[in-house]
Chains A and B, each alone.
Chain A
Amino acid sequence: MRNSVLYTIEKGELDKLIGILHRDGYTVVGPTVRDGAIGYEAIESVQQLPIGWTDEQAPGHYRLKRRDDDLYFGHVVGPQSIKKFFFPPKQRLFGIRREGENDYVFEATQPEPPRYAFVGVRACDLAAVRVQDRVFNDVMPDPYYAKARSQAVFIGVNCAEPGGTCFCTSMDTGPRCTQGFDIALTELKSTFTVEVGSDKGRKLLEALEHKTTDANTKHLVDLMMQSAAEHMGRSLNTDGLPEMLLNNLQHPHWDEVAKRCMDCANCTLSCPTCFCSNVEDKTDLTGDHAERWRTWGSCFTLEFSYHTGGYNRSSTAARYRQWLTHKLASWHEQFGTSGCVGCGRCITWCPVGIDITKEANAITDDVKRFRAEQERQRAEEVGS
């Protein structure tokens, strides 16, 4: 139950909103069907939204399917989040020209980011932006990220039908947008309800034909959200999880997962919070012009942990353990939050269907069983 004022707009108003955002100079980004999946791309109108499409998701499985209605947002999240718009996969950090033997001149560094308006962002992805803020914005702000972030508009969408790999309820990030949005929509048959999250959002709403939502509809929205929360595809037991994982770095289950893991890095590349990058320096053929590029990196590659003395994580088991313990455990100490928002992408896009919730739960359950057995034995000793 959420105690905020809701407004109702007719569906047609969404196209008007997109038009207003364009007019105000925003690059409007929304979900759209491309290459057999739904991704965030620049869109011109609601016509490019995945109207009438849904996505069937399971571990290692993703398929677009026709819905029997024409909902705009009757799908969940696709392979890519909006991370790429703030933290581009490939980015030039600077260029340098050598003039004469010993004189170096910096050339224009980074381009100015566009002003983005994101339409149809889910609660998990909004949460992921706040997770990445702690890396790129809060301490030593990355100029491109900080700029793109500060001028962005977020039109969230609440999820009524979670996907097969979703577990935002476990991570306390969804299915309802509760923060980080300017406007949050709930899609009904012929209308949207609108919650306003900022002054920017209020101004946008005021430009649209709207009325206060009646009590019945409000109640319906609450019921939809409650039902969504109860129908998550997965669930993760987070109780005492960070300590449990960090105390079990030698658990045999890491080796068991490593037998299945292919080191492909799909999980880190699709994850909306993974922030690792490589820094590459190169020169052109003349040798007088050098550039520094930053590209997405992944702890699943061997080179990632390379240093003069060798590799710090030479086995797949060690790399998988780094990934999972980082997401669910050490992130807390680093940033005061989990590194996982429960979007399920790493599960869907893993070619062999390795499931973060299943692997973590397996270790938790095993440790619990072990403790219970110890308790039982102790009780027996005391009793005898």
Chain B
Amino acid sequence: MITAIDQRPDVVSGDANAMSPVWARIVSRCQESSNTASYTMKFVDPEIGRRYRFLPGQFNMMYLFGVGEAAISVSSDPANSDSLVHTIRHVGSVTFAVDRLKVGQCVGLRGPFGSNWPLESCKGRDILLVAGGIGIAPLRPAIYQLLKNRDQYGRVILLYGIRSPQDMIFKEEVEEWMERRDFQVLITVDYPSENWTGPVGVVTKLLRRVRVDSRNTSVFVCGPRVMNRAAAHSFLSHYVPEDQIFVSLERNMRCGIGQCGHCQYGPKFVCKDGPVFSYASVRNLFGKDEV
């Protein structure tokens, strides 16, 4: 079973140096919001498709022919490696180029890279997931695994912050999750629409609505930098230990293999030591400006 993997899966790439991509075909596209879409992909070479494995929280480098590369997390279920999903917010050159592709066209991929959400070592504990905007994408594989192995964890709670109700991604799924009695999902928006009846404001405000058992909770956080900081500090003030708060960080990435130097964060290479870090391991850097 996939959840039992605690060693990182092999990196798939076009040749030995892991700097060239292999091809994957877009088999379907789902518009999630005005600027975000999910792309289901299959490796053109079926042998690679059989071989490719990833862990929740890991990412691929996605290459658009002649345009460039961007780090994109895998947002699908690791148990189902046959259909790899990437959920992409279209913001710049590479992601705009993905937006322009038609179903049936190809992108280059190499990966998976980086560290994962520590689902194994958090067994038996309450899991509190905090997502901001597109940050829900790298958390979704973890959610799939948590729900599949639901009996192995304590309470599972998702706090999800979005700009406005129209910006919610994975909408149908989120609604399904909200129906479940074994999964508490709370959503907050910055800018409510007229018919929004839920909470308004930053995601950390939702913490008032949940009971945090500080001795038995592990927290997974992924969102914009400001949110990551606020969330980590709120949990610390709720006495969640530093080594049970996990944050996924974003940095400029050009290689994914610890060689280009761009993703350095103090002594850490975010591409290989991260993107998922325990707060304890980055305590001296976290929240400091300009490192």
Residues of A within 8 A of B (CB): 93-94, 96, 98, 101-102, 104, 106, 109, 135-136, 139-143, 246-247, 249-250, 275-283, 287, 290, 292, 294, 297, 299, 304-309, 312-315, 317-318, 321-322, 325-326, 329-330, 332-334
**Contact for A297 among B65, B260, B288, CB less than 8 A:** B260
Report the minimum CB–CB distance from B18 to chain A (whole Å).
6
In this assembly, does B49 line the interface, its C-beta being within 8 Å of a C-beta of chain A? Answer: no
Report the minimum CB–CB distance from A310 to chain B (whole Å).
9
Which B residues are in CB contact (< 8 Å) with A325?
A: 266
In this assembly, does B63 line the interface, its C-beta being within 8 Å of a C-beta of chain A? Answer: yes
**Contact for A275 among B15, B18, B67, B259, CB less than 8 A:** B259
> Is there contact, CB below 8 Å, between B69 and A136?
no
Report the minimum CB–CB distance from B282 to chain A (whole Å).
12
Beyond A104-B23, A334-B269, list 9 extra A-B contacts (CB 8 Å).
A94-B20, A281-B69, A283-B66, A297-B254, A297-B262, A307-B250, A308-B250, A325-B266, A329-B267
**Contact for B17 among A142, A297, A318, A322, CB less than 8 A:** A142
- B 9-32 binary contact with A (CB < 8 Å = 1; else 0): 000001111111001010000000
> Is there contact, CB below 8 Å, between B16 and A143?
yes
Q: A104-B106, A306-B252 are in contact. Are A281 and B63 (CB under 8 A)?
A: yes
Q: A93-B17, A281-B63, A307-B252 are in contact. Are A102 and B104 (CB under 8 A)?
A: yes
> Is there contact, CB below 8 Å, between B14 and A106?
yes
**Contact for A98 among B15, B63, B65, B254, CB less than 8 A:** B65
> Is there contact, CB below 8 Å, between A299 and B261?
yes
A sample of 27 cross-chain residue pairs with beta-carbon separation below 8 angstroms, ordered by A number, consists of A93-B20, A94-B19, A94-B20, A106-B15, A106-B20, A140-B257, A142-B259, A143-B15, A143-B16, A143-B17, A246-B267, A246-B284, A249-B291, A275-B259, A276-B261, A277-B254, A277-B261, A281-B67, A287-B66, A304-B252, A306-B252, A309-B225, A313-B291, A318-B291, A329-B267, A330-B264, A334-B269
CA distance A290 to B67 in the complex (A): 9
Q: Total interface residues on B, using CB and 8 Å?
A: 43
CA distance A294 to B262 in the complex (A): 13
- B 271-291 binary contact with A (CB < 8 Å = 1; else 0): 000000000000010001111
Q: A106-B14, A143-B17, A315-B290 are in contact. Are A279 and B254 (CB under 8 A)?
A: yes
> Is there contact, CB below 8 Å, between B262 and A249?
no
> Is there contact, CB below 8 Å, between B258 and A305?
no
> Is there contact, CB below 8 Å, between B66 and A93?
no
**Contact for B224 among A309, A329, A333, CB less than 8 A:** A309
Q: A104-B65, A283-B65, A308-B91 are in contact. Are A318 and B20 (CB under 8 A)?
A: no
CA distance A292 to B67 in the complex (A): 10
Which A residues are in CB contact (< 8 Å) with B68?
A: 280-281
| Residues B56-70 near A (CB distance < 8 A) | 63, 65-69
CA distance A304 to B254 in the complex (A): 10
Q: A249-B288, A278-B260, A299-B261 are in contact. Are A312 and B251 (CB under 8 A)?
A: yes
Nearest neighbor of B288 in chain A, beta-carbon distance: A249
CA distance A250 to B287 in the complex (A): 13
* 3 nearest A-B residue pairs (beta carbon): A283-B66, A276-B261, A318-B290
Report the minimum CB–CB distance from B85 to chain A (whole Å).
20
Report the minimum CB–CB distance from B131 to chain A (whole Å).
16
Which A residues are in CB contact (< 8 Å) with B269?
A: 334
Which A residues are in CB contact (< 8 Å) with B267?
A: 246, 329-330, 332-334
> Is there contact, CB below 8 Å, between A140 and B18?
yes
CA distance A109 to B15 in the complex (A): 9
In this assembly, does B92 line the interface, its C-beta being within 8 Å of a C-beta of chain A? Answer: yes
